[in-house]
Structure 1
Amino acid sequence: MSTDSEVQTPDGGRLWAERRGAGTPVVLLHGSGMDSRLWDAVVPELSRHHDVIRYDARGLGRSTPPERTFDDVEDLRAVLDHFGLDRAALVGLSMGGETALDFTLAHPERVTALALVGASVSGHDWPPSPDTSAYTEARRRGDAATLADLELSVWATLGRTAPGGALIETMVRENATRRIISEHHLAGAPARDAESHLARITAPALVVHGAHDHPEIAAIARRLTTDIPGAHHHLLPGADHYLPLRTPHHLTALLLPHLA
């Protein structure tokens, strides 16, 4: 049985969230330009063993667009508080992994375990490339169509015919305009530097990325595995950046023993 909720944020925003299952709590955080449908193929099995919460990040999916500067770390805290959770495991992909890391460093007492899936990390110096330049220009122009095309070509490299392809394209195109607005109002991340403080993390950490993901995600995965004490790393074949939809059963098989 699942229940939908509307989570009020400290600054008046509203986040759509779903709670499903029973057991120890796990919160799922999706990446930029996506929404909580990223976890559609993982939630059914995961919720057989855990109290699973997933939510749409600010301005994406069914959550309200920001009208002023907001902080994704404070939004995550609002989700935990709304559901009465003192502590939870965090599973984050890409931007969601970055948020999970920032939250863990700010509130270590509230995190029981970390699973970082194709994660980014605040403070990382992304090397210049034609892709990053094209992203910057599309955001500057507010060109949602071009931004969606870039997202699909750079990050969903396995294409529409691979598992989850149709849903990935739908999510990306539906969220492209919302993403531009949300990222314009996002605060905190540019000033944060989790990469320099990974050794402070004490929560058990699992690092996962797909064999067909962006090369810089592989570089970040190596850094996370090296610098987070006791972190374990797994490379999954048959997956690009949208790993939970490409190889959900393989990912779930890694998550369940880590979160137990």
Structure 2
Amino acid sequence: MIKTTKSYFDLGDGQLYYETAGEGMPLVLSHAAFLDSRMFDTIWEPLAKHFHVIRYDMRGFGKSSPVTGALCRRNDLVQMLNHLDVTEAHLVGCSNGGQISLDLALEQPQRFKSLTLVDSTPSGFELQVEPPRYIMEMFDAMQHGDMDRSSELQIRVWLDGEQREPDQVDSTLRKKALEMNRIPVAQNTFFAADMQPASPLTPPAIARLESVNCPTWIVAGALDHCEVLRAADEMVKRIPDARKTIIESSGHVPSYEQPERFVKLLLDFLSRIH
């Protein structure tokens, strides 16, 4: 078993919980904004055999501090990487974690060796069709403080997805996702910190995809919302040196639903860079 180091980093106005394991080139995992770093449990050790892996809970998630107001998520990540003396790394981000990774790679292009964007949309991306089913009902439940209903609906939106009902998703994964999700719901993380984030990238990533200067792998679950799939098409078309993989029978978090397949594909992508 590979040893994992667990720690906290003081940001001044809060703390980030993070873990590290393995040796070699740093590989940073950023979670989706309805789960936390435990979404990477199954891929953690397989990746740590090849890289110095780093995962963390964003503020308002998992073991990190609750949020107190609007945040610049990429700044939190930069501060943690500086604390760990990481001068170059591979970035792997899922959903909002991918959006943060892409923004950061545009802001500090010299620092990152590759980008893996999993079911992510670039900052500034605008929907052209109706939002996902249940999402307005979910916001209503959040605003009325109905935590159980809000959490269940978030899992329906982001784990079950557009084409599946709850009983069509692995029950163990679903139970763990609900456990992770209850923390940001209880702490009102989205409305407090992310509805109007601080210091957004200007101009946003959607306006400067051609400026990404590192190899980029874009991943999407075939069962995800059509707009996420459209964003994947837009990114692979405009980001230089980008490739795309659609993972069948998976929704918004394929690295969580199909970890073995995801690790195999990720290691293949990264081996080509080395």
TM-score, structure 1 length as denominator? 0.92
CA offset at residue 192 of structure 1? 5.5
1:168 aligns with 2:180: no
Q: In the TM superposition, what whole-angstrom CA distance separates every residue of 1:165-204 from its partner, at most 9, and x where no partner exists? A: 3212221233322334443573234866111111000110
1:150 aligns with 2:174: no
Please tell me the residue identity of whatever aligns with 1:148: S
Rounded Cα–Cα distance in structure 1 between residues aligned with 2:105 and 2:263 = 22
CA offset at residue 213 of structure 1? 1.4
SS at match of 2:208: helix
Instruction: Work out which of the residue numbers 218, 229, 234 in structure 2 matches 1:223.
Output: 234
1:238 aligns with 2:249: yes
Please tell me the residue identity of whatever aligns with 2:54: I
* Structure 2 contact 173–257 (Cα < 8 Å) conserved: yes
* Structure 1 contact 36–61 (Cα < 8 Å) conserved: yes
Q: In the TM superposition, what whole-angstrom CA distance separates every residue of 1:75-134 from its partner, at most 9, and x where no partner exists? A: 110111111101111000000000001111111111110000111221011244354433
Rounded Cα–Cα distance in structure 1 between residues aligned with 2:202 and 2:147 = 26
1:8 aligns with 2:10: yes
Pairing of 1:1-260 with structure 2 (within 5 A): 1-9=3-11, 11-126=12-127, 127-129=129-131, 131-157=134-160, 159=166, 161-162=169-170, 164-178=173-187, 179-180=189-190, 181-183=192-194, 186-189=197-200, 193-260=204-271
Please tell me the residue identity of whatever aligns with 1:115: T
Identity of aligned residues (%): 29
Rounded Cα–Cα distance in structure 2 between residues aligned with 1:120 and 1:146 = 26
Rounded Cα–Cα distance in structure 2 between residues aligned with 1:135 and 1:200 = 36
Rounded Cα–Cα distance in structure 1 between residues aligned with 2:130 and 2:109 = 33
Rounded Cα–Cα distance in structure 2 between residues aligned with 1:69 and 1:176 = 16
Instruction: In structure 1, list runs of 5 or more residues that go unmatched.
Output: none
Rounded Cα–Cα distance in structure 1 between residues aligned with 2:36 and 2:84 = 20
Instruction: In structure 2, list runs of 5 or more residues that go unmatched.
Output: none
Rounded Cα–Cα distance in structure 2 between residues aligned with 1:42 and 1:16 = 19
Please tell me the residue identity of whatever aligns with 1:6: Y
Rounded Cα–Cα distance in structure 2 between residues aligned with 1:71 and 1:213 = 26
- Larger mean CA deviation between 150-159 and 205-214 belongs to 150-159
Please tell me the residue identity of whatever aligns with 2:179: T
Q: In 2 relative to 1, CA 143–120 (structure 1 residues): closer, same or farther, beyond 3 Å?
A: farther
Q: How many corresponding residue pairs?
A: 259
Q: In 2 relative to 1, CA 190–140 (structure 1 residues): closer, same or farther, beyond 3 Å?
A: farther
CA offset at residue 66 of structure 1? 2.0
- Larger mean CA deviation between 89-98 and 192-201 belongs to 192-201
